[in-house]
Structure 1
Amino acid sequence: MTRPITAGVDGTAESLAALDWAAREAVRRDLPLRVVHAWRYAEALATADRDTQHGWVSEGVSAAVRGVRERHPELRVSVDVVEGGAADALAAAEAEMLVLGSRGHGPVVGFLLGSVGQQVIAEAARPVVLVRAGDRPTAEAAGRDVVVGQHGGAEDSAGALRFAFETAAARGATVRAVRAWTLPPVFAYSPGSMKLLDDAGGLEPYERQALADALRPWRERFPGVPVAEHVEMGSAGEVLLSVAGRAQLVVVGRRAHRTAVGARIGSVAHGVLHHADCPVAVVPHE
């Protein structure tokens, strides 16, 4: 079954920007677009019954979708107006990816994640893309890279790398793969780890080789996608943000398993979401 790209719409400027982003991506990938709006019956509006309120909501969503259909007449679009919580409706969606809007006030403050966005990112089994209200399609055609964070072994970032390469292939863009490293604590050294470092020629060559190994299968699968490798000492979030200034999209991973306090976004994804000035994709992995 072909999964659609699903956009959550609530009438705000940021959600309309997310809808436009999702529509463009659906056209590139030849996928259908599903537009979801979740609403709750407002009993305080005594003069408007449930059907009337539903009609108001449906008309607002239809107006936004009309613009998308005019700009992309070849796009297959479906609309779901559901009663209930937005986070639950979106997180449970069977989608290739979920696209949401997020308020932003410039590159310093960055994204302001509401409770819906946080819950969807933490709970969704599919990639979630956050888009600012000021996002413009020109940024996607300005030669900017798709930046992706890689960490650990080859399997640890496979989901994020897959998403980055698929996106870059659809856009004719370069993947800029970023790996950050720090000096390990003294007690982390062992005879086995020391041998690995000696064989690699030191810490930085070891990290560069680890990134090259993780990228190898994706380079083979997407031979037409240019790749730039960036290895730098520092915290993962800071290194990613340092190279994201001219990115058209930043892709980060998050662990999908739940902790004792529930699902979490993760510190790196959280930092990038709050400070990047371009759309950010958060991809879950085991």
Structure 2
Amino acid sequence: MLRPVVVGVDDSAESLAAAEWAAQEACLRDLPLRLVHAWNWSPHPASDVPADAAAVGAAQRVRARAMLDEAETRARAACPRVRMTADPLEGPASAALLRAAEQAEVMVLGSRGLAAFTGVVVGSVAQSVAAASPVPLVLVRAGEPRWACARVHFEGEVTSKGKPERPCADVVLGLDLADPCDEVVEFALTAARARGVRLRVLSAWRSPALYTLGPGELALAEKPRREEEWRGFQDAVLRSWRGKFPEVEVVGTVVEGRIVTPLLGAAEDACLLVVGRHAHAGHRLGQHNGPVTHAVMHHARCPVAIVPYP
């Protein structure tokens, strides 16, 4: 049985963008799509919900179904041939979505990112799910068309070789050379292959502090030599993957210092940014995301895939 692409929806613009992205991802992977909306009875319901407890539950179910119906319409428009189901989930949103993720191939949520002036941030639900999801989680923002290059696969705009007529943005992978896990690399390459685009791989290195070097080691601290060593290390990591995905053009880059700024710069022209997250045992709620994951969740302008690895 195929595991679906699961997308959590609510009444936000980001959620509807996530439903569109998830529908196209399901089509690209030839997987079913499952729309879910998590709701829970609240002692302080929305102003348009009746105060009576029984009526509150009924009204919330109606609202949940309306949200799912709207998301289904948007998803169907994004990919008419997608196989789709829609289910309301009862319970606290984070816990309900994580239970749904256990049966998913990929989990998708809307994300507001971080507005520099308003201070609007990725919601607590998205942060909790991102920190504990057992499967790759993709966060999608509203109003960013870069990811839409996948639409050419559904509009007939392809050449005889099956490639899009118009260029699409790259998939970008932030690769930690200290822990180059297979799950993250494979997810990024699979995404690039499905879209018929390049994979750009960015890795960072740092010069060792001079006081940590022993006699005769100062020459190794020279920037050109150190950079060349790290570039060779990255190429060695990617060499076997190039053989497994010969149809994907892989372009590697190493940068000195912190990876966040160049990664966000590359994401400006990307259709998807992929980073890894160490999957701590138990997938407990309340776990924290690492500094790189935290930064790209809040600031990247393209969809962000957070891939757990052992």
TM-score range, shorter chain: 0.7 to 0.9
What residue in structure 2 maps to residue 83 of structure 1? 90
2:23–2:78 Cα contact (<8 Å) kept: no
1:107–1:275 Cα contact (<8 Å) kept: no
CA pair 262-66 structure 1, distance change in 2 beyond 3 A: closer
CA pair 205-243 structure 1, distance change in 2 beyond 3 A: same
Shift of 1:46: 2.4
1:104–1:133 Cα contact (<8 Å) kept: no
1:110–1:273 Cα contact (<8 Å) kept: no
Separation in 2, partners of 1:188, 1:83:
55
Which of 253, 256, 268 is the equivalent residue of 1:233?
256
Q: 1:257 is paired with a residue of what secondary structure? A: coil
1:178–1:229 Cα contact (<8 Å) kept: yes
1:24-43 alignment runs, 5 A limit: 24-43=24-43
Q: How many residues align?
A: 281
Separation in 2, partners of 1:110, 1:250:
23
Which of 244, 253, 263 is the equivalent residue of 2:267?
244
Q: 2:287 is paired with a residue of what secondary structure? A: coil
2:131–2:285 Cα contact (<8 Å) kept: no
1:10–1:37 Cα contact (<8 Å) kept: yes
What residue in structure 2 maps to residue 211 of structure 1? 234
What residue in structure 2 maps to residue 135 of structure 1? 144
2:204–2:257 Cα contact (<8 Å) kept: yes
What residue in structure 2 maps to residue 167 of structure 1? 191
1:111–1:275 Cα contact (<8 Å) kept: no
CA pair 35-189 structure 1, distance change in 2 beyond 3 A: farther
Q: 2:268 is paired with a residue of what secondary structure? A: coil
What amino acid is aligned across from residue 174 of structure 2 in structure 1?
Answer: G
1:256–1:263 Cα contact (<8 Å) kept: no
CA pair 281-110 structure 1, distance change in 2 beyond 3 A: farther
Where in structure 1 are there 5+ consecutive unaligned residues? none
Shift of 1:156: 2.8
Q: 2:233 is paired with a residue of what secondary structure? A: helix
Separation in 1, partners of 2:285, 2:114:
30
- Asked whether 1:285 is paired with 2:292, we answer no
Separation in 2, partners of 1:170, 1:82:
31
Which of 175, 183, 187 is the equivalent residue of 1:150?
175
Where in structure 2 are there 5+ consecutive unaligned residues? 45-49, 153-166
1:32–1:75 Cα contact (<8 Å) kept: yes
Shift of 1:135: 2.7
Separation in 2, partners of 1:239, 1:135:
20
Percent identity of equivalent pairs: 42
2:33–2:82 Cα contact (<8 Å) kept: yes
- The one-character-per-residue Cα deviations of 1:229-270 (angstroms, maximum 9, x if unpaired) are 111112011221232221111111111126999522100111
Separation in 1, partners of 2:298, 2:62:
35
Separation in 1, partners of 2:120, 2:40:
26
CA pair 3-182 structure 1, distance change in 2 beyond 3 A: same
Q: 1:74 is paired with a residue of what secondary structure? A: coil
What amino acid is aligned across from residue 171 of structure 1 in structure 2?
Answer: R
CA pair 185-37 structure 1, distance change in 2 beyond 3 A: same
What amino acid is aligned across from residue 167 of structure 1 in structure 2?
Answer: A
Which of 53, 60, 63 is the equivalent residue of 2:60?
53
- The one-character-per-residue Cα deviations of 1:159-199 (angstroms, maximum 9, x if unpaired) are 221111000000001000001111122455469xx6xx69x
Separation in 1, partners of 2:31, 2:214:
49
What residue in structure 2 maps to residue 98 of structure 1? 107
Q: 1:65 is paired with a residue of what secondary structure? A: helix
Shift of 1:61: 1.1
2:40–2:90 Cα contact (<8 Å) kept: yes
Q: CA RMSD in A?
A: 2.9
1:156–1:285 Cα contact (<8 Å) kept: no
Moved more, 49-58 or 240-249: 49-58
Moved more, 251-260 or 37-46: 251-260
Separation in 1, partners of 2:183, 2:31:
19
What residue in structure 2 maps to residue 256 of structure 1? 279
